[in-house]
């Protein structure tokens, strides 16, 4: 029997994502000037106010107010009528030094013996239903908002858009777990109050979403996914009606509140730990990236059509407690999931320091992860410039989304005889 599955995404202007981006920009700046920085910082954003808090151990000092303001302006909160803008909002910092009780469990005489920065379990997931091995509903939800943000910045075809927006896609699957059609698409976007009536505004926004935004999304899709779009899709555009008040003025934002948007849209599993604001010694972040890397390479190698990987740690302990694999009955090798897990443990060194080295996680690479998902993104190299309070500048070539590389496919095939 067919079934429905739904995932959502939120834009870079959503208040929780504003908070995530500020926190990750702080991480990047600390790492740019001291790659051994230990950072765990949280951000709260609300009407006209930003609050920074957390623990840091670093040899550098940052102008955290300027960093926060730069991020807010870059997102697009630059007008006073938004009741939250980068030039005039207050920025309060309560960041202090990391607890020595925590630090002693992480730092070691040799880097390789670095302990896990916290306890917990982390999950990675991959499926072959899309070219980037991500669940289709989330992939489309991200793409819709990415294009909406592009339209907002172009300010040409659609001129009334404001930064805050959300999307949601519902997919109908066959009983063989194959996407069959798109049933519903939800787009809620903040907008100017352009009148003349609320009904006229809503009609204009809905028309533009269907006739301008969706065709731009379709242009980026392969033929098999384009075929899922049809005239029977139900579009819910700003279903509550008027959406002028938004962003941190409309809803307080906090770091780490969009962990399902950040990962797999509800597919697979989640250990509960957020990513943004944390340096890679925190396995909530680094091990989640590592398990995604494993799952993606296994699916790409043909081990299974769908794979979930779990790893677990104890704080201060070097080796993980265990590795778990679930292929959901889609395995293409003559081995049980437990046997697959044993091979995974031999192929991938899951000690925290080994993960950091393998995925190059001490780079200032995290601001780019903080909106539109941490997984399923394009591995690429960019040049980033950082300026410290004393005027010192650093220009760094940074490789982004290293956990999306398919660099272990040949090793996996050899290990499984594929």
Annotated binding site for L-methionine: 55, 98, 251, 282
What's the rounded Cα separation, in Å, for the pair 43 and 71? 12
Residue with tokens 């943004």: 276
What's the rounded Cα separation, in Å, for the pair 134 and 170? 15
Strands (E), 174-256: 179-191, 234-237, 253-254
Residues making up the annotated binding site are: 14, 16, 42, 55, 98, 164-166, 242-243, 251, 257-258, 274, 278, 282
What's the rounded Cα separation, in Å, for the pair 86 and 76? 9
What's the rounded Cα separation, in Å, for the pair 171 and 179? 7
Residues making up the annotated binding site for ATP are: 14, 164-166, 242-243, 251, 257-258, 274, 278
Do 7 and 168 form a contact (C-beta atoms < 8 A)? yes
Name the 3-class secondary structure at 162.
Answer: strand
Tokens of 175: 């009983």
Helix axes 337-347, 283-301, angle to 10 degrees: 110
383-392 LR contacts (CB < 8 Å, sep 24+): 384/28, 384/32, 386/28, 386/29, 386/32, 386/33, 388/29, 388/33, 388/60, 388/61, 388/62, 388/63, 389/61, 389/62, 389/63, 392/33
Q: What torsion do the CA atoms of 314, 256, 43, 385 make, to the nearest 10 degrees?
A: 90
Residues making up the annotated binding site for K(+) are: 42
Do 182 and 234 form a contact (C-beta atoms < 8 A)? no
In three-state form (DSSP H/G/I as H, E/B as E, the rest C), the secondary structure along 310-353 is EEEECECCCCCCEEEEECCCCECCCCCHHHHHHHHHHHCCCCHH
């Amino acid at each position: 029997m067919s079934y429905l599955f739904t995932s959502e995404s939120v834009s870079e202007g959503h208040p929780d994502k504003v908070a995530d981006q500020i926190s990750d920009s702080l991480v990047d700046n600390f790492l740019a000037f001291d790659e051994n920085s230990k950072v765990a910082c949280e951000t709260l954003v609300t009407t006209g106010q930003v609050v920074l808090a957390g623990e840091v151990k670093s040899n550098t000092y940052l102008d955290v107010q300027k960093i926060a303001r730069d991020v807010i302006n870059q997102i697009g909160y630059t007008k006073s009528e938004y009741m939250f803008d980068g030039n005039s909002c207050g920025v309060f910092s309560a960041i202090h030094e990391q607890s020595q009780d925590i630090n002693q469990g992480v730092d070691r005489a040799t880097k390789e013996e670095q302990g896990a920065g916290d306890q917990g379990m982390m999950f990675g997931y991959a499926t072959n239903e899309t070219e980037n091995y991500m669940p289709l509903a989330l992939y489309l939800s991200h793409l819709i908002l990415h294009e909406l943000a592009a339209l907002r910045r172009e300010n040409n075809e659609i001129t009334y858009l404001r930064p805050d927006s959300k999307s949601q896609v519902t997919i109908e699957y066959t009983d063989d777990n194959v996407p069959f059609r798109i049933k519903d698409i939800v787009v809620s976007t903040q907008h100017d109050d352009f009148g003349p009536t609320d009904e006229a505004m809503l009609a204009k926004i809905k028309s533009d979403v269907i006739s301008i935004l969706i065709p731009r999304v379709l242009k980026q899709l392969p033929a098999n996914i384009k075929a899922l779009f049809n005239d029977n899709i139900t579009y819910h555009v700003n279903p509550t009606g008027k959406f002028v008040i938004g962003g941190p003025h409309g809803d307080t934002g906090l770091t780490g509140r969009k962990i399902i948007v950040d990962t797999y849209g509800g597919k697979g599993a989640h250990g509960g730990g957020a990513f943004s604001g944390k340096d890679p010694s925190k396995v909530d972040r680094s091990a989640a990236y590592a398990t995604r890397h494993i799952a993606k390479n296994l699916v790409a190698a043909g081990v299974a059509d769908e794979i979930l990987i779990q790893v677990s740690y104890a704080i201060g302990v070097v080796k993980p407690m265990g590795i778990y694999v679930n292929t959901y009955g889609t395995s293409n090798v003559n081995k049980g999931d437990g046997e697959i897990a044993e091979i995974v443990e031999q192929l991938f060194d899951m000690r925290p320091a080994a993960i950091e080295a393998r995925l190059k996680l001490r780079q200032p690479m995290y601001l780019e992860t903080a909106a539109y998902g941490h997984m399923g993104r394009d591995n690429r190299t960019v040049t980033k410039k950082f300026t410290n309070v004393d005027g010192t500048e650093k220009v760094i070539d940074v490789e982004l989304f290293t956990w999306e590389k398919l660099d272990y496919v040949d090793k996996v095939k050899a290990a499984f005889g594929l």
